[in-house]
Chain A
């Protein structure tokens, strides 16, 4: 499969009469984008704000972040969710660099699970989203819109905005072209056959919380009874996989720029041969967990014929165990594994970090401690959280998990929990 990403650099974003890219300045017709969002009857009002890197600005009530992408040549955007169902991962996609759509949740009363983004100050150093020009989309639920519908609506609004903005670049000459070309795993040229074959096992949802009917995660499917399956890495990068509605320490943006897939692509053909992506979900019962681990290991070892595999998870502590069981089975089949875990301890002690102890799982990378707390200074303005401004405009104490982008379970973040 061959995917061409046509990147346009953006260094400034401002409101304008027409949505267009002038040099590296993105001008956005905010009224038009607002109308696009308000066309959804589940939403009654949409507001757009702009937040720029370096501004003393705090975005609150963050639900998800998306990267501006749009298919060219009639391809379907976010197939199964926004666009019609079609295979993602080939053809040409326009992408804007340094811009993100930040979607806020205006319905949730107890905001403990929603995150913040600081555009300047100590919090900014911790997240990618302080370096992007953010188009902050806040939408209010229409009368009678339930929780599940509202989340589906705001996510859709975010995706529409992501496509709308990317289309500003149109088919103009890109600043940078990225070609992601990976043959099927069976087609390895003779010169590369000595390279270790590496797979990526991507846990895309945790059934600690069941998905809603319109909570599409894989090509729009809510993957409720999903057994381990295979996809081409380009499909993940090109809109086939989305974060669910309760992905803690995870954003759709990070999936669109998937760091593991990028890291493996960077080494592909040189130090390894990237053989594919196994998608799994973390199960809620032990028998399902055992089945999933067994099948995932089978796909990695016997179908992809991998020598090594990288694993990531999503959700809380139980998904660690799902991931670890699948990895342990891979190790038992002779596949070397590396896992990205979170520090799960509740008392900051290193012994409580992991919830598993399987032989062979000796190569673990951690994305930091969610529970650790930090204090953020007061800011000049708050976006996306008018009702919370009185409390969050001043000095705020938040755990790392409350900072969007500080901890990305896919491995996009640079925080690590050191044991001292």
Chain B
């Protein structure tokens, strides 16, 4: 019953209005979230629905069948699964350690001013559209590969990977290299971000014990960010697995499973890019939707795996930033 009311007290009607306002805002935001969820669910549903003619006809055997003859309505994804795995694996094997090395340099070794220039440069590599990498691959890389194929074969021909040289450089090797170029900047900038999160006190403490910079990196920086670095690698792998356009230009869209990297091949994503616009028959289309389903499943797994191993690092959030550069 005091004369003056407390400052925070508001008349009843504005309290109601603010509660309504809160509810409206919350509702709008939640609706947005629901749209996201619905999109994802519909995506999975729509894809499976459109793939159903092929799924019904081929079942799981589709994954192991090594034939793709649209005119004969024979479809199997084994070639493409092989190609996807091989091209992405090679890209990852090169880009992962290289990316970590670059990240170490940017975060720990380079002088501040140099790192402030080179860091954004590496990030901008990630912003280059895949089609440009694809064209660079066709017009610059493939001829180059074709030139060095004989040399590689004579030097390393005992490894089945470097088999008989071909007439063009359009090959699995070209695809692997293009993919390496595409995932390298993502790996590098993600890992650099992670290394920079290591508290300076930790690094100082290690230095104060008389450790060399490499010992600090090896003993403190990398172990404490290991889960994040692993998740980043998985995300980079996911990016490579799903890349369609760049690969479609340099891999040749050919059937067959070969060890020889100089031969053309196919991946799930690039086959869709190459053949979907001009299907021969509805089963052809459905089969490519089926490839899309497989691809979706693979990428779903990599996303979930990355989340799981990321631990306390929100790698996905950083990945969004790295992907946009």
A binds B: no
Which residues of A approach B to under 8 Å, CB–CB?
Answer: none
Which residues of B approach A to under 8 Å, CB–CB?
Answer: none
